[in-house]
Structure 1
Amino acid sequence: MAAHVLRLRAALLVGAFREPGRTIPRAIGFLALVIGTAVTASRALALPSLPDGVAATALVLSAAGLVLSFAIAPALTATVDPLDPRRFRTLGAAPDPLAAVLLLASLVSVPTWLLLVYEVVATIVWTQLGASAGSAIAGAVLHLLGCVLVARVVMALRAALGGQGRPADAAGVFVVALVVASVPATIASAAVWSPGAARALGRVAGLIAALVPGTALPAGEASGSGSVGLAVAIGIVVVAALAVAWVALVRRLLTTIEHPVVARGGAGLGWFALLPRTATGAIAARSLVYGLRDSRYLANLLVIPVAGILPVIPLLVAGVPIEVAALVPVPLMALFYGWLPHNDLAYDASAVWLHIASGVRGVADRAGRLAPVVLISVPVLAVATALSILVSGRGDAVLPVVGVTAALLLSGFGLSSIASVVAPYAVARPGDGPFQQPQRTDSTGAWSQALVLLGALAASAPTVWLAWLAIADRQVESVAVLWTGLGSGAAVLLIGIGIGAAVFDVRGTRIMEFAGAT
């Protein structure tokens, strides 16, 4: 069976270039990936010439970026998975051998081949940095398996959650994945211009090396620090955990029939059973159902952490102390998360008529629609705050950072609740890829986005100023910053929901016309 599946996988890969009308674009895209990989490999081979351990930092961050890319690409793409375990139900294969065969077949793909090139280059560079050939090869194998298993697990989770595929956006997502993977190496290379940035990135790389399979082993041996045995154990445990998750998901997909099961007492209703049986709870549940399965939402939710971290790099290169620069990402992420629902009504398409036709009050609609972004943003910001404080080493900055984060997040939610009913604008249709955008004939989207961002900044300005005073020269108590942020953010949130609800009640007909037009 393994040989048969591998032949089918190779035939599908070759057949993708023979599809009418897509041969030339795909060939050009493949050529661009090969050229980009060659350029990245040539730059990576020159890393050992960089001073002060920057090369090791670049390799660790690149390895982490690749794992992240293999996790994000399947989540964002709308591509049909040719190795979906459900396709093999009719063969009567046992789940465990089938999981091993599908994992082996996953190696026959363009992204995996490019990853293999990276592993070869990384092995060469690690040996030049002082690691033994055995540890470098072992690290490369663990990293390769980790990336492939992460992609398999994410795809299987999407299938188990009922995700649908379309063959449109794979090339674009893999290009983005390659860019994301190559950015850390470029950043680390640029760190040579600033010793402070190099030390900061080295500290970050040290924190994440243990979590990325296959990086802690050669990194620890090259630097002469850390326990090699512990690094090996951690890498094996991470890969083994991913393998167990993959086998468990294959078993579930082979033995589960995808149809809704409604049992007594609300079991099987998912979010509708967990949330309160009110209008707000029902709208929140419906928003969570489609929000956590729609690639248009997931793309925005997953991009925000990256968007919050990237502005820190210029600060480090410019010589800003790590103690200050490390505190910047969390408020930026809070600002973008609060801004995210400013056009949530447009994503509803024609489904918004359910709210209007059933006479749902605007307050329930405005509050319920915030559920998906709240569910994602709160834990992400909590973890990001802990990491930010850990990297900066400023334990006294916890309360000011939380206060600023709360002010930006809650203010953004309140202003977004108004903007989404006052000035909605066209977005990608349901089922379209996250990178597709419709043509617009007016500037409504531009000014509504800008007003929400600027309004959230203006509403949070007093909290930001107090936080700066508390962190810089301790003229203000940290507790005062926390309560100022929570109070001002909550006030803007309540006022925004109230105004948005009133507008929703008045403009119901116009909203239905807009939803029908999109």
Structure 2
Amino acid sequence: MVARFLSLKLTLMVNTFRKSVWQTIGLILAVLYALGTVGLLVSGVLALAFLQDPAWAGLAVTLGGTLLVVGWWLIPIFAFGVDATLDPHRFTTFAIPRRTLITGLAVAGLISVPGLATVLLALGTSFAWVLQPGVLLVALVGAVLGVATCVVGSRAITTVLAPVLESRRYREVVMIVALVLVVGIGPMISWLTTGIDPGATSGVLQTLAERAAGVLGWTPFGAAWSLGSTAYAGDWLGLLGRLVVALATLAVAWLVWDRALARALVQPPVGNAGGGRAKGLGAFGLVRFSPTWGVAARTATYWLRDPRYSGSIAIVPLLPVIIYFSSQSTGSFFMLLATGPFVAWILGFSISNDIGYDYTAFALHVASGVRGSSDRWGRALPMLLVGPLVAAAIVVGTVWVADSWHLLLPLLGMALGLLLVSTAVSSAVSARLVYPVAKPGESPLKSPQGAAVATIVAQGVGFVITLGLSLPVLGVGIAAVVLGGPLWGIGTLVAGVLYGALMLYLGIRVGARTYDRRLPELLQQVQSFP
């Protein structure tokens, strides 16, 4: 029966990749990236074992294995579940024993890029003790238990939390928290480590790492991964205790998954796709009755109620704060002052794949006969109404913090110019280059299979065009910053707005023609997204 589950998983994966060339390319790139990462990590651990001391390798395996388990257990919570290629609810009518079903699902869960990478990493790092056959055997047992803890624990958590994971409100809150963590973790680490002398603190960091590994080795996250290093140290009583912790963790996770799956098969979780009760027409009641303003109202509604859009809004106010902490490590406010123009560019480029975010709802534009000019202006209007206010507020705030009021007009001119230029490029490019994104209701952090290459190409082309068209605004702005004087500041503001308005007109005109010409192809493309 387990072999049948593996066969089904492989068949479904092969059939999925046959549907799209981009999925096949994305899979190949993901496999190559995973193999490269695994190769580097295994090589690093083996180098520690043979060039330094196997104890160092044991320290690295324990800490790295702990992070691996935490990742397997927590990432599905932020990504709203795990791979559902083999949905257990589809096997309800086949009367498969639950324990057999769990075993098949657990083994089939390894048939994925992350699963195979975890197996290779666990087995590869075990050979740090290849010169001690007895320790190697113990390390291999720990690797098997560690991988099982990753998979079974992940499935147990997501099955227990399935009713919550299906809640729309949960998705919105978790998405914002996840994005904040992803964006802020790097600058916060940089800020916390400011002023630390690596040479003077290497001994302290080593001691802290050893203590951390000693503690984590007794936790459910690191017990299995610490078996090899414990056996190498000759601590047989500690080895027995950690083995008990690892087996108990796996047993508890298996029991929790079994009970949760039994309940889910009888009472499947039902997602709460709806939010609160709508009152009135919302944004549609605030605009005039026309195709352009109808598209604008729908776009504004998306920005406020769709987590894929609202996440971007949540990040924008955090960027100045994050960059401020980053600038503290250098003592320079250059990056902070550049935040306003940078945010303006991000806001304008954020509508570069609006059609892709529409997914099948784009058929309404086709069925209702919305013209290209109405579609392009309608998608750009909410950004043009709110974007300048946001960019201006950030420019004023950063100038106030840096106490550089003489740069207010040049930075404001660059910000408004970049906002208009990037909006113009987005309006033109989005009618030609459309790529897969997370579907409505899915995690904004989720990337469809095969979308990586298409995303890189589309965003790369848009970035190059935007940068080229923004050179006049940037040139005048940089000259105003260097030369100084109010006239240069006023000139940058006027030039940025006028030049950006011209680019916006041309960009929307080009995008409207492309939209009208490629309307059937656009509909077919978005409906074929995986």
Query: Which TM-score applies when normalising by structure 2?
Result: 0.50
Cα 1:164/1:381, change in 2 over 3 Å:
farther
Task: Tell me the residue number matched to 1:504.
Answer: 515
**Counterpart for residue 273 of structure 1:** 285
Distance (Å, rounded) in 2 between the aligned partners of 1:458 and 1:474 = 25
Q: Deviations over 1:415-460 (max 9, x none)?
A: 1111111010111111101111101268332222112222222222
Q: Per the alignment, do residues 315 and 167 of structure 1 end up closer, same or farther by CA in structure 2, a change over 3 Å counting?
A: closer
Task: Tell whether 2:400 aligns with 1:390.
Answer: yes
Q: Does 1:338 align with 2:359?
A: no
Which amino acid in 2 is paired with 1:300?
S
- Aligned equivalents of 1:444 and 1:77: distance in 2? 21
One-letter amino acid of the counterpart of residue 500, structure 1 = G
Query: Within 5 A, what are the aligned runs for 1:440-451?
Result: 440=450, 443-451=453-461
Number of residue pairs the alignment of both structures matches? 300
The CA RMSD measured in Å over matched residues stands at: 3.7
What are the within-5 Å matches in structure 2 for residues 250-265 of structure 1?
259-260=277-278
Counterpart amino acid of residue 189 in structure 1: L
1:376 and 1:32 mapped to 2: Cα distance? 40
What displacement does 1:258 show? 5.2
Instruction: Provide the residue aligned with 2:500 in structure 1.
Output: 489
Q: Structure 2 CA distance, aligned partners of 1:469 and 1:509?
A: 46
Partner of 2:435: 425
Structural mapping, 1:5-404, within 5 Å:
32=70, 165=168, 186-192=189-195, 259-260=277-278, 268-307=280-319, 310=322, 317-320=329-332, 322=333, 324-404=334-414
Match of 1:458 among 461, 468, 476: 468
CA displacement 1:270-321 (0-9 Å, x = unmatched): 211111211101111111223311111112232344456655666553453x
For residues 364 and 273 of structure 1, the distance between their equivalents in structure 2, rounded to whole angstroms, comes to 18
Q: Work out which of the two has the higher radius of gyration on C-alpha atoms and give 1 or 2.
A: 2
TM-score (norm 1): 0.51
User: Is the Cα contact below 8 Å between 1:362 and 1:505 reproduced in 2?
Assistant: yes
TM-superposed deviation, 1:181: 7.1
Could you tell me how far apart the structure 1 residues matched to 2:276 and 2:323 are? Answer: 43
Counterpart in the other structure of 1:138: none
Report SS of the residue matched to 2:435: coil
Residue ranges of structure 1 left out of the alignment (5+ in a row): 1-27, 37-73, 80-162, 195-256, 262-267
> In the alignment, is the contact (CA less than 8 A) between 2:428 and 2:508 conserved in 1?
yes
Asked if the contact 2:359/2:439 (under 8 Å) is kept, the reply is yes
Contact persistence 1:344–1:420 (CA under 8 A):
yes
Task: Decide whether the 8 Å contact of 1:408 with 1:457 is kept in 2.
Answer: no
Q: What's the counterpart of residue 478 of structure 1?
A: 489
Identity of paired residues, percent? 27
Q: Could you list the per-position Cα deviations for residues 473-514 of structure 1 after superposition, in whole angstroms to 9, with x for gaps in the alignment?
A: 327621111111111111111101000001111111111111
Change (3 A) 1:181 1:487: closer
Q: Distance in 2 between matches of 1:273 and 1:427?
A: 30
Q: Which runs of 5+ in 2 are unaligned?
A: 1-65, 82-165, 198-274
Could you say which residue in structure 1 is the equivalent of 2:209? none
- 3-state SS of the aligned residue for 2:353? helix
> Hey, what's the Cα distance between the residues in 2 that align with 1:258 and 1:339?
30
Partner amino acid for 1:186? I
Quote the Cα distance in structure 1 between the aligned partners of 2:173 and 2:323. Answer: 28
* Residue 226 (structure 1) aligns with: none
Q: Deviations over 1:146-198 (max 9, x none)?
A: xxxxxxxxxxxxxxxxx96276798786666566676665343344379xxxx
**Structure 1 residues 207-248: Cα deviation after superposition (integer angstroms, max 9, x where no partner):** xxxxxxxxxxxxxxxxxxxxxxxxxxxxxxxxxxxxxxxxxx
Aligned equivalents of 1:258 and 1:442: distance in 2?
A: 34
SS in 1 for 2:195: helix
Amino acid in the other structure paired with 1:495: L
